[in-house]
Chains A and B, each alone.
Chain A
Amino acid sequence: MPANAFNGFTEYGVGIGLRVPHYRHILAKKPVVDWFEIISENFMVDGGRPLEVLDSILEQYRVVQHGVAIYFGSADKFDREHLKRLKRLVKHTNTPWLSDHLCWGSVDGRYTHDLLPMPYTFAVARHTAEKIRAARDYLEVPICVENVSSYAEYHASQMTEWEFLSEVVELADCGILLDVNNIYVSSQNHNFDPYAYLNNVPHHRVGQIHIAGHSKFEKYILDTHDHPVLDPVWKMYAHAIKLVGNTATLLEWDDRIPSFDEVHNEALKANKFREQQLAASTA
């Protein structure tokens, strides 16, 4: 939904991820961008250039935090130092909501630095929801969890991914960061209908949408974030917007990053679908 409890009742438009190769351009040219998404962990440092850049960005732009290492789905308890630093950053950026992934990535204090898929079971959904609630209570900010792209499924799973996502967010009473590219990638890798996914998640909980590019290989698709958004993903985005309304949308481009203008222009293509949705809803 455009503005809801899960995105701090904001009405953000189309944003892009803040990435190092664009720092100089952004700080010098101050381009008009509706909002930037930052990777929280890149700024959970004690000082130096990253925080200087962040402060300059915060003076000019709206910023939303997106994390890659909370690991709501890890069996381990939270890394307290991680959460402490994250809370400090939340207070610093005043982010209206915070997102991270519905995944695991560490065990016994050892980190894979990956977004690994969950086994879709009721027990795991309960465990994950408890961790999301605990994080939200500690961080004092709305949380949206993002569906990840995946390349493997477990024998242990008892339900579909979208049923698991729905179960978790209902139990946790949290929002969804709906990544339509990730849904497409996983649908191709696991042979399911991506529209069944889109149609069956709780739409009123969607606080943000991600779009991105991916890479096709002979037997699978990788979520590489190094291309423009592909047509099937734009079509899914149009469908998602119809279902959830003009929700805050962000383009991710993390590898082989082209110029700032190229990335921003690619993101702004989302406006075509948003305008169509607006026209349809007011007709």
Chain B
Amino acid sequence: MKRLKPTNSGSNSSPQVPREVNSRAQLRDLQRAMASALFRPLTSQWGMQKRWTDGGSMEAVAAEFIKPNDRLSSFERLEIYNRQYWFRTLDCLYDDYPGLRAIVGERRFMKLATAYLSRYPSNSYTLRDLGNRLEQFLSEEPQWSAPREQLALDMVRFEWAQVVAFDGPAKPPITPDDILDSPPSKLRLGLQPYLSLLELNFAVDDFLIAVKKRESDVLRGEASNAMEAAPKSAVRRKRVRLPKREKVYLGVHRHNNMLYYKRLDPEAFAILSLLGSGSTVEDACLEAVTARERTNIDWSAQIKDWFDAWSTLGWFCRRS
């Protein structure tokens, strides 16, 4: 048996490659070895790395457990799976994070995504969750999005919120009748689990709409063959202008199973955030509007309008 050093996939274990698999432990060793090989990033030519993590020959490692045939070596057979893993996962992130891709650029996005998956391989049975630690990763390793670290973080939070809003859980919404007899000083409301409240430093919502429009224009062009001969660099020249720094408050949610993002006033955002963290309706409203600079507003009427709108959207539910 050959003892292998850890891969750069974040695992600290040293997988062994058994020649025989006569127990569950040996099956696990074989699967660890193969998974470690699959999780290793591809070369710039989209091939399997020639060297294992200890500097030894990858061909020799593959030959330990994979049979060659009359057309392919052990290395080449394992490489098929190595490529499939990266093509599948990178494709998934590419499709799910067009905003982040537009911010860092296509080529850097692939490097960022590879680094992310190397540090945080998928921990879920569904590819839906593949980006669930992307925000954490960009916080820990900001160099991948430099010099636009804050913008990239805002975008990733926004794009993940859309994943949650698309198919996240919903609770029965509270109707006005449900809370008719509850005084605001005692009433605590829950927020729908699919609703994300985001305090952002850039208008990533407008930016993402523009990015998606550009991508759909390009796709339409491809479908009609109008863009078929255009070099990719021509597409890249049409980059959407990056958003300027500005404070934006968003509610990312769904209504009738359609995805929406709704801009919120700062006070409205504060009320919802306080409700979400367990404040009573009265406390949330008082705290949110007290010491605000905007004084020429009829807060009672404004707050009533907000609650009417949020109630209509079904954002309130019972606290769990």
Contacts and interface: CB of A to CB of B under 8 A. Distances in A.
**A interacts with B:** yes
Interface of A: 41, 44-52, 69, 74-76, 79, 82, 104, 106-114, 116, 119, 121-124, 127, 151-156, 189-191, 219-220, 222
A42 to B, nearest CB: 8
A107 B20 contact: no
A48 B27 contact: no
Contacts of A76: 28
A154 B30 CA distance: 10
Contact of A151 (B11, B34, B77, B124): B77
A106 B125 contact: yes
Contact of B89 (A49, A113, A191): A113
13 contacts: A48-B166, A48-B194, A75-B28, A108-B35, A109-B123, A110-B122, A112-B39, A112-B81, A113-B88, A151-B81, A152-B66, A152-B67, A222-B80
Given A107-B28, A112-B38, A45 B167 contact: yes
Contact of A154 (B21, B76, B124): B21
Contacts of B65: 154-156
B78 interface: yes
A121 B169 CA distance: 42
A111 B39 CA distance: 10
Contacts of A190: 69
Contact of B21 (A46, A47, A50, A119): A119
B167 A50 contact: yes
Interface string B15-33: 0001111111111101110
Interface residues of B, number: 58
Given A114-B88, A123-B23, A153-B66, A219 B168 contact: no
Contacts of B209: none
Nearest to B125: A69
Contacts of B169: 46-47
B2 interface: no
Interface string B132-149: 000000000000000000
A149 to B, nearest CB: 11
B71 A112 contact: no
Given A48-B168, A75-B27, A113 B85 contact: yes
B234 interface: no
A69 B193 CA distance: 26
A152 B80 contact: yes
Nearest to A127: B24
Contact of B170 (A41, A46, A107, A127): A46
Contacts of B166: 48-49
Nearest to B67: A153
Given A75-B27, A106-B35, A108-B11, 19 more contacts: A41-B125, A46-B170, A47-B169, A47-B194, A48-B168, A48-B257, A49-B167, A49-B258, A113-B89, A116-B31, A122-B22, A124-B27, A127-B27, A151-B77, A152-B66, A156-B19, A219-B71, A220-B72, A222-B80
